Structure 1
Amino acid sequence: MSALDSHSPGTHSLGQFKQELIKDYNEINHRIFGIGVVRQKVDVQGDKILIVALHKRVPSLAYLNALNSNVSELADHYLIKGFKNEFKQLLVEKYGFEIVSIFKDYDAQAELSATVVLLQRDVRDYL
Structure 2
Amino acid sequence: MPSLGDFKQSLIKDYNDINNRIFGIGVIRQKVNVFGDKLVIIAMHKRVPALGYLSELNSNVSELADHYLIKGFKTEFKTLLEAKYGFDVVSLFKDYDAKAELSATVVVTKKDVCDYL
Q: Under a length normalisation based on structure 2, what TM-score does the superposition of the two structures give?
A: 0.99
Q: Which has the larger share of strand?
A: 2
Residue in 2 aligned with 1:5?
Answer: none
Gaps of 5+ in 2: none
Determine the C-alpha separation between the residues in 1 that align with 2:115 and 2:40.
17
Q: Aligned letter for 1:29?
A: N
Matched length: 117
1:40 and 2:19 correspond: no
Residues 20-62 of structure 1: CA deviation (Å, up to 9, x unaligned):
0000000000000000000000000000000000000000000
Residue number among 61, 78, 83 corresponding to 2:68 in the alignment: 78
Q: What SS class does the counterpart of residue 57 from structure 1 fall into?
A: coil
| SS of equivalent to 2:96 | strand
For normalisation by structure 1, the TM-score amounts to 0.91
**Which residue is 1:24 aligned to?**
14
The offset of 1:103, in angstroms, is: 0.3
Structure 1, unaligned runs of 5 or more: 1-10
Q: Counterpart amino acid of 1:41?
A: K
- What is the deviation of 1:114? 0.1
Note the aligned Cα RMSD (angstroms). 0.4
> Which residue pairs with 2:107 in the alignment?
117
CA distance in 1, matches of 2:50, 2:65: 11
Indicate the SS of the match to 1:38.
strand
Find the counterpart in structure 1 of residue 53 from structure 2. Answer: 63
CA distance in 1, matches of 2:15, 2:63: 22
Larger Rg: 1
Q: 4+ residue runs of structure 1 moved beyond 6 angstroms? A: none
Distance, in Å, in 2 between the alignment partners of 1:106 and 1:77 is 9
